[in-house]
């Protein structure tokens, strides 16, 4: 049983939505971030980067920095860039990319669903990052980027969403990344009740992207509850901003690996070692894996297909038979000496959207010496890991859609955004 709630979003006025919405700041390279801040006074990036062009800067992730973020957010409100909906609403959000269409529901979701295991995780979180995001929530009192959640397709939810897709959207714009964005408001009480009741019948929801944001929201709620044991269960801090998308609409893409050293091997001796664990076949053109346990490798100007030999992995091990683990256990660690994917500076990762061409360019430019392509993780694999309370290897998946910040902001401090009784 999942508890979702409508809320009164703080959001851009219709004429400024395309200017305000942004990708998270960490996505942008420094020169692109500066260019966006310089050219667009409305971008939400100004809220997240309140000291752009300032001479005296506060420390990153400090109370003082977050106070500046809150001040900038208040300035956007005072300037009429943002408005707040008068009615509690759900928000249907659609992205149309050149290759996919993503449609889902923006809502608040209960932190208790996280605490009681209805919301399933598949990644470890870092305590320091959790505490940093919690501090951000403490000071700023708003949540601007939804956690991406997925659930088994539900006909009742689909029926409500599909009805709105035939009407004019509140927002309709295209970004420079060739992604069309649409947003609809759902404030009809009958439709709201239908959605709330439908999610009561969904007992498993999976985090697709946003493990740290959800964990920090839970920490924040727990701290507020500890301050007042008689807390109002409908207070905003008991929920966090989420984008719920059915499994059929989620796109799980591979996360590929590039390594800058052969660990004192020559390409020839490295291939000899690889062939002890994998069936190796040279390819004449760019190559991408065609099935589970098959990998692509680009080395010294040549492409290879690597297929893990039987006995090098355990098919009954939910985590051990993931391709990311097979590659690490059988090649990256024993042959290349990479024992920690999170800290070893010899390994980098590239989202599969850049394809074999992206890997080849990295090696040909000598930014890496060898590159590996993986086969995408299936949704059933992700769910099996989460259901077993296990954790996937680092950088196992690149999941789309990637959410934008600033379109629907969930207020933690304004009583007017409390959920309905």
**What CATH number does residue 381 fall under?**
3.30.1760.10
Read off the pLDDT of residues 23-67 as tens digits, 9 standing for 90 and up. 887 788 889 999 999 999 999 999 999 999 888 899 999 999 999
Residues 329 and 391 in one domain: yes
| 251-259 vs 142-143, strand pairing mode | unpaired
Residues 258 and 228 in one domain: no
Residues 185 and 294 in one domain: no
Cβ atoms of 287 and 296 within 8 Å: the answer is yes
Task: Provide the 10 A C-beta neighbour count for residue 380.
Answer: 9
Residues 238 and 118 in one domain: yes
- Average of per-residue pLDDT across 407-417: 75
Q: What is the DSSP string of 76-102?
A: HHHTTSEEE-SS-BEEEEEEE-SS-EE
Whole-number Cα distances in Å, 147 to 170, 200, 213, 371, 402: 22, 19, 7, 31, 10
∠ CA 100-104-106, nearest 5°, is 140
Tokens, residue 334:
């024993």
Structure-model confidence comparison of residues 286 and 420, the more confident one: 286
Question: Which DSSP state fits 331?
Answer: I
Distance from C-alpha of 120 to C-alpha of 107, rounded to nearest angstrom: 18
- Helical H runs in 203-338? 211-227, 267-274, 323-327
pLDDT-above-70 percentage for the chain: 98
Distance from C-alpha of 236 to C-alpha of 138, rounded to nearest angstrom: 13
Task: Provide the 10 A C-beta neighbour count for residue 291.
Answer: 8
Residues 52 and 33 in one domain: yes
Residues 354 and 387 in one domain: yes
CB under 8 Å, gap of 24 or more: what pairs does 40-49 form? 42/12, 42/16, 42/81, 43/19, 44/20, 44/144, 44/405, 44/406, 46/72, 46/76, 47/72, 47/73, 47/76, 47/144, 47/406, 48/24, 48/405, 49/25
pLDDT band at 177 (very low <50, low <70, confident <90, very high): confident
Cβ atoms of 199 and 4 within 8 Å: the answer is yes
Residues 235 and 310 in one domain: no
Residues 195 and 302 in one domain: no
Residues 243 and 285 in one domain: no
Distance from C-alpha of 40 to C-alpha of 32, rounded to nearest angstrom: 12
Q: Which residues does 405 contact at the CB level (< 8 Å), separation at least 6?
A: 21, 22, 23, 24, 44, 48, 144, 145
- Average of per-residue pLDDT across 64-75: 97
**Nearest-CA neighbor of 298 among 344, 367, 351?**
367
pLDDT at 53: 86
Residues 303 and 372 in one domain: yes
Q: What is the mean pLDDT of the chain?
A: 95
Distance from C-alpha of 127 to C-alpha of 381, rounded to nearest angstrom: 26
Cβ atoms of 104 and 408 within 8 Å: the answer is no
Read off the pLDDT of residues 294-348 as tens digits, 9 standing for 90 and up. 999 999 999 999 999 999 999 999 999 999 999 999 999 999 999 999 899 999 9
Residues 18 and 141 in one domain: yes
Task: Provide the 10 A C-beta neighbour count for residue 150.
Answer: 26
pLDDT at 1: 84
pLDDT at 421: 32
Read off the pLDDT of residues 92-145 as tens digits, 9 standing for 90 and up. 999 999 999 999 999 999 999 999 999 999 998 889 999 999 999 999 999 999
Structure-model confidence comparison of residues 365 and 416, the more confident one: 365
Q: Environment class of residue 229 by beta-carbon count within 10 Å: exposed (0-12), middle (13-18) or buried (19+)?
A: exposed
**Nearest-CA neighbor of 58 among 45, 71, 42, 41?**
71
Whole-number Cα distances in Å, 361 to 255, 332, 356: 16, 21, 9
Read off the pLDDT of residues 254-299 as tens digits, 9 standing for 90 and up. 999 999 999 999 999 999 999 999 999 999 999 999 999 999 999 9
pLDDT at 420: 36
Residues 244 and 161 in one domain: yes
Distance from C-alpha of 410 to C-alpha of 283, rounded to nearest angstrom: 51
Structural domain boundaries, residue 288: 254-398
- How many independent structural domains does the chain possess? 2
């Amino acid at each position: 049983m999942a508890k979702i709630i409508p809320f009164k979003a703080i959001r851009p006025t219709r004429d400024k939505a395309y200017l305000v919405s942004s990708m998270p700041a960490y996505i942008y390279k420094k020169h692109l971030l500066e260019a966006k801040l310089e050219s667009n006074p409305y971008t939400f990036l100004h809220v997240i980067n309140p000291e752009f062009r300032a001479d005296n800067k506060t420390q990153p992730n400090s109370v003082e920095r977050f106070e500046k973020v809150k001040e900038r957010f208040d300035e956007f409100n005072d300037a009429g860039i943002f408005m707040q909906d008068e009615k509690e609403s759900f928000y249907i959000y659609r992205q149309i990319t050149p290759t996919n269409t993503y449609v889902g529901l923006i809502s608040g979701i209960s932190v208790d669903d996280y605490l009681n295991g209805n919301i399933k995780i598949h990644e470890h979180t870092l305590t320091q990052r959790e505490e940093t995001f919690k501090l951000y929530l403490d000071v700023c009192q708003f949540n601007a980027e939804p956690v991406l959640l997925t659930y088994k397709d539900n006909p009742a939810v689909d029926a409500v969403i599909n009805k709105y897709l035939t009407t004019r959207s509140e927002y309709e714009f295209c970004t420079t990344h060739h992604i069309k964005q649409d947003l609809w408001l759902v404030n009809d009480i009958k439709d709201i009740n239908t959605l709330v009741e439908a999610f009561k019948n969904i007992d498993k929801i999976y985090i697709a992207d946003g493990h740290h944001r959800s964990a920090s929201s839970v920490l924040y709620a727990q701290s507020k509850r500890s301050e007042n044991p008689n807390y109002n269960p409908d207070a905003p801090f008991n929920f966090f901003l989420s984008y719920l998308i059915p499994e059929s609409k989620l796109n799980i893409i591979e996360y590929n690996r590039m390594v800058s050293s052969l660990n004192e091997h020559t390409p020839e001796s490295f291939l000899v070692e690889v062939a002890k664990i994998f069936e190796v076949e040279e390819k004449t053109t760019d190559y991408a894996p065609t099935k589970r346990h098959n990998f692509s490798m680009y080395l010294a100007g040549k492409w290879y297909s690597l297929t893990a030999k039987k006995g090098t992995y355990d098919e009954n091990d939910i985590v051990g038979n993931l391709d990311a683990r097979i590659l690490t256990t059988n090649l990256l660690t024993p042959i290349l000496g990479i024992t920690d994917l999170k800290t070893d500076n010899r390994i980098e990762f590239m989202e599969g959207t850049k394809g074999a061409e992206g890997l080849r360019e990295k090696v040909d430019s000598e930014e890496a010496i060898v590159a590996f392509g993986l086969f995408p993780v299936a949704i059933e694999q992700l769910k099996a890991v989460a259901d077993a309370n296990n954790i996937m290897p680092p950088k196992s998946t690149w999941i789309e859609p990637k959410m934008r910040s600033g379109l629907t902001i969930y207020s933690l401090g304004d009583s007017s955004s409390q959920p309905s009784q």
